Structure 1
């Protein structure tokens, strides 16, 4: 029994150390590939991804995903327990299943783990969420999220999605385009942003109306105050 406990303890310690190192590396290195990309590529979908820094993605895109998925992104430390509780109550009442995951949780899952997997994956996801919230900035979390999230069949990130759906890069997204892309995120294989059906159109309009609140209420302040400061520093140095 002692040897078994010792082995389990060593296994847990090794996982904790290796996962921490992995997260630290990705704080400044672009994730080269994810398990979702690999599994979809094996299924024949290919990988269409083009990385852009957050500064080179129209700020309306971050506003859109905050409006759609995580209005407390700048305030929480990875987990929005109020949203989780509300989602649990909604799901218990029946009807359409609603998730309570934050952008940080989705970033952890998309970057380091796999889709589906039940409670085991959720437990590991929680650990990686804790790590990125403490080892990355909110700026980095959003940057990685917007570059690796699945946005179509074999399409990853908003740059590839913008070129695929709208035929221009992600630096020049309109409010409606950003809102419709955000509406696609939860079910990227079944939804499309350029010819949206009823739900995506309606949900996109809702997101678009919420984006004004995100900007007005400063719900994006943890992202764009940093970017504005960088731009001012560059201007002052010229």
Structure 2
């Protein structure tokens, strides 16, 4: 019996190592070859095909020198101010996010208990989840992982993040991120977003346009309905004011 258990453990460890080597090889290829798609993009394409019976898609890869420096600064200022300093993961940000999520869950549970007394058929409130992820972590998740939230998936995300940082470096990470991140339903990458919202190429985005696109990143499907809403414009002003101090790779 012991021998069987150890054999299973050995097989599990070998499987884990093989999976990490597979990821490592795929990331190594990205040093010279742009990824054709991400796991997140493929799941979105399937969702669009299933729900709308068509896939309206806009994406065009552009090299780093064809992406406005304003956009690079705006995205870093908005999404990951410590991008140039950290090694891929900001542990303090993760801990703060965990603390906030725990408090939000506790508050949601209390509201759900009160709601159950007065409206038992009404669905319980869903707490807002804060991720605390860096740009490198977001790229790791979008490239390879599902949207589920488990400790196992988070551990794999962190391992992938360190692989990206080691093999690709900041310059390539930002280039791949900006070419694949979602900016609306079926709108992926800086070039598609610049054309969709401002009818210009990504290299011609001005500071305010770049800041407005950066504001949209946490919830692009929500903000694309009102890309010039008071919130977007106000938040864009704040980001634009920070952009001058941002270092880019």
The TM tier, using the shorter chain, reads: 0.7 to 0.9
Deviation (angstroms), 1:92 = 4.5
137 and 198 in structure 1: CA distance in 2 versus 1, 3 angstrom threshold = same
Instruction: Give CA deviations for 1:107-161 in whole Å, capped at 9, x if unaligned.
Output: 1111222333433321211111010011112100000000000111001111100
> In structure 2, do the counterparts of structure 1 residues 195 and 133 end up closer, same or farther at CA, with 3 Å as the change threshold?
closer
| Residue of structure 1 in register with 2:166 after alignment | 134
Larger CA deviation: 82-91 vs 67-76: 82-91
Aligned pairs (5 A) from 1:155-194: 155-192=187-224
Q: Secondary structure at the match of 2:161?
A: helix
Q: 1:126 to 1:62 in 2, by over 3 A?
A: same
Aligned length: 217
Structure 1 residue 47, shift from structure 2 partner: 2.8
The 3 A distance-change label for structure 1 pair 193 and 53 is: farther
Rg larger in structure: 2
Alignment match, 2:76: 66
The 1:204–1:98 alpha-carbon spacing in structure 2 relative to 1, beyond 3 Å, is: farther
Q: Find the aligned partners of 1:186 and 1:75 in 2 and give their Cα distance.
A: 22
For structure 1, the residue ranges without an aligned partner over 5 or more in a row are 224-238
Where relative contact order (Cα < 8 A, 6+ residues apart) is larger, the structure is: 2
TM-score between the two structures when normalised by the length of structure 1: 0.84
**Cα pair 2:212 2:227 within 8 Å, conserved:** no
Aligned residues of 1:177 and 1:193 also touching (Cα < 8 A):
no
TM-score (norm 2): 0.81
> RMSD of the TM alignment (CA)?
1.9
42-51 vs 26-35, which moves further: 42-51
Matches within 5 A, 1:90-105: 90-94=100-104, 97-105=129-137
> Which portions of structure 1, spanning 4 or more consecutive aligned residues, are displaced by more than 6 angstroms?
none
Provide closer, same or farther for how the CA distance between residues 206 and 87 of structure 1 changes in structure 2, counting only shifts above 3 A: farther
